[in-house]
A = this chain, B = another copy of it.
Amino acid sequence: MTTTDEKTMTIREMCDAYDVTPRTLRFYEAKELLQPIRQGTKRLFTKRDRARLKLILRGKRFGFSLEEIRQLLALYDLGDSQATQIRATYDVAQKHLAGMIVQRDELTAAIDELREQLSWADRMLADMSHPEAAE
C-alpha cells in the first residue's frame, strides 16, 4: 500500500481550492496552524492541513481569533498528547462550546429581530409604492 492516498497539494492548488492567498497559508504556517511538509523548499499540504484549514476558515467566520482557533485545533489533535495536556485542552474546548451555544442562541434571536424589521420595512415599502388613494 502506497502513501498515495495522502495526495498532497501545492500552495497554488490550495489557494484555488479554498480561496486564500499564498501569504495567508504561509502566515498560518508561521502561526503553527498548518504544518505542510517540505519537499526541498516547497510546501506540500496534506489532507490533514486541508481539514485544519477548513476549520480555520470556519472559525474565522464565527469571529474567533487565530490564536483561539489554534487552541481549538489542538483538540482535534489529541492523538499524540498526554492526559494532562488533554485535560487542559478539553477544558478550553468546553468553554468554547459553551460560548458557541450562547452565540448561536443570540444569533437566532438576532435573526428573528432582523426578520421582524424586514417585514416592517416590507410593509412600509408596499405602502410607499402604490399611490395612497384607497384600496
Residues of A within 8 A of B (CB): 58, 60-63, 72, 75-76, 78, 83, 86-87, 89-90, 93-94, 96-97, 100-101, 103-104, 106-108, 110-111, 114-115, 117-118, 120-122, 124-125, 128-129
Contacts and interface: CB of A to CB of B under 8 A. Distances in A.
B83 A129 contact: yes
Contacts of A106: 58, 61-62
Contact of A94 (B72, B97, B118, B129): B118
A13 B106 CA distance: 25
Given A63-B63, A124-B86, A125-B86, A76 B117 contact: yes
A54 to B, nearest CB: 11
Given A63-B61, A83-B128, A114 B90 contact: no
B121 A62 contact: no
Contact of A62 (B107, B115, B117): B107
Contacts of A121: 75, 78, 86, 89-90, 93
Contact of A118 (B90, B117, B118): B90
Contacts of A129: 83
A109 to B, nearest CB: 9
30 contacts: A58-B110, A60-B63, A61-B63, A61-B103, A62-B63, A62-B106, A63-B63, A72-B114, A75-B117, A76-B117, A78-B120, A78-B124, A83-B125, A83-B128, A83-B129, A86-B121, A86-B125, A87-B125, A89-B121, A90-B118, A93-B114, A97-B111, A97-B114, A100-B107, A100-B111, A101-B111, A104-B104, A104-B108, A104-B111, A107-B107
